[in-house]
Amino acid sequence: MTIAPSHTSVPTPAGPVWPKGLVVDLAEIDLSQCVMTRHDLERWLPHRGQMQMLDRVIWHTPDCKQGVALKHVRDDEFWVPGHFPGRPILPGVLQVEAAAQLAVILYNRRLPEALQAAFTRLENCSFRNMVVPGDDLYLLCEEMKWSRRGFTCHVQGVANHKLAFDAQIQGLAV
């Protein structure tokens, strides 16, 4: 009689498993890289202080049609005490704002001079998982439509290897 081993070894993937259907394949990107620091972002974004949501841009295609940025969610941010006391959760609107800022950076990188662009429309938005202080929120952006006047992008947020949100946004030069 043969006795089966009480444990079997199952091969594990070489790297983290990312959600299916992301607009950028995060497995193909070195997420530790930095192509734009928080300071560099000031050239491309009008946001300052607490409303500058991004910590860095990790990667973008040479034509700036796709990009990935990082927001490290800190426990000293302005929304933590009130959303929600004792159990802070990053508001969805701020998650989408962070992605919109990445979209503005990619939009402006294609212009001879940066324009101020405003977030004008949000469609097909769904929030799937919570983002809390201590999390790294990866923002992904893929251009759907671009003109000098504005843009439409598919944006996503990923935290803890889970899709946090998925949406389409539009922005317009103002």
The residues annotated with a catalytic role in the active site are 83
For the chain, the distance separating the N- and C-terminal CA atoms, rounded to the nearest angstrom, is 78
Q: In the 8-state DSSP scheme, what is residue 74?
A: P
Are 122 and 168 spatial neighbours (Cβ–Cβ below 8 Å)? yes
β 56-60/150-159 pair status? unpaired
Nearest to 44 by CA among 97, 111, 95, 140: 111
* Cβ atoms within 10 Å of 5's Cβ, excluding its own: 6
CA angle 68, 60, 153 (to 5 degrees): 65
